């Protein structure tokens, strides 16, 4: 049984996909040891509470420009709750090298595009879908990848394509990419990681 911490910054829809996968009997080798939010008051914390998962707030704003201090605090918290694997599920903080080195090939992230398209610094949330629509792509999707020192640059684990429809807005595309891709491949990738098949 692998102890998994999920890092969030918002509504927690990807967290819910993981909770649902666990409740449906998938993720049999996974135990959620904590949900850590970079912001207070986000709905992801409510989802964690409803699922009986311990939750913690490590407010990024309270650290100001001290990103190294935030990384140290995050690493300390992860160690204290016994996290063996870390999932970034809409975590809008760039994590520091020290944390990556402490968890080599044990941190995964879901990104709402088919990497290497529309990824890297500045590409997150709706911005990704706005860029995809502006470029006129016909296919987009989501990627789960390992986290390394380059934003969205780690080794790809899984990808799933989603077709862009005529009349799509960034919001409708974002929703469809979540439903058809992110919520499917994130639990699948975590299951692979927990079962040590990657």
Q: How far apart (Å, rounded) are the C-alpha atoms in residues 40 and 59?
A: 7
Q: Which residues are catalytic?
A: 111
Task: Give the DSSP letter string of 92-135.
Answer: -SPPPHHHHHHSTT-EEEEESS-TTTT-STT--THHHHHHHHHH
What residue segments make up the domains of the chain, in order of their start?
Answer: 2-194
d(CA 114, CA 119): 8
Judge if pTM exceeds 0.85: yes
Tens digit of each residue's pLDDT, the chain (198 residues): 999 999 999 999 999 999 999 999 999 999 999 999 999 999 999 999 999 999 999 999 999 989 999 999 999 999 999 999 999 999 999 889 999 999 999 999 999 999 999 999 999 999 999 999 999 999 999 999 999 999 999 999 999 999 999 999 999 999 999 999 999 999 999 999 999 887
CA distance 31 to 84: 10
Q: Domain 2-194: which topology?
A: Rossmann fold (3.40.50)
């Amino acid at each position: 049984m692998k102890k998994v911490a999920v890092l969030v910054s918002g509504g927690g829809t990807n967290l819910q996909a993981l909770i649902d996968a666990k409740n449906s009997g998938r993720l049999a080798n996974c135990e959620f040891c904590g949900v850590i939010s970079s912001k207070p008051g986000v709905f992801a914390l409510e989802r964690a509470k409803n699922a009986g998962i311990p939750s913690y707030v490590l407010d990024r704003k309270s650290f100001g420009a001290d990103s190294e201090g935030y990384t140290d605090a995050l690493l300390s918290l992860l160690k204290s709750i016994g996290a063996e694997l870390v999932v970034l599920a809409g975590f809008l903080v760039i994590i520091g090298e020290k944390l990556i080195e402490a968890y080599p090939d044990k941190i995964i992230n879901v990104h709402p595009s088919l990497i290497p398209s529309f990824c890297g610094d500045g590409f997150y949330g709706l911005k990704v879908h706005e860029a995809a629509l502006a470029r006129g792509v016909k296919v987009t999707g989501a990627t789960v990848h390992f986290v390394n020192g380059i934003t969205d640059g780690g080794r790809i684990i899984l990808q799933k394509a989603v077709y862009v429809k005529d009349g799509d807005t960034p919001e409708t595309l974002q929703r469809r990419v979540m439903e058809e891709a992110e919520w499917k491949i994130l639990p699948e990738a975590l299951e692979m990681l927990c079962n040590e098949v990657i």
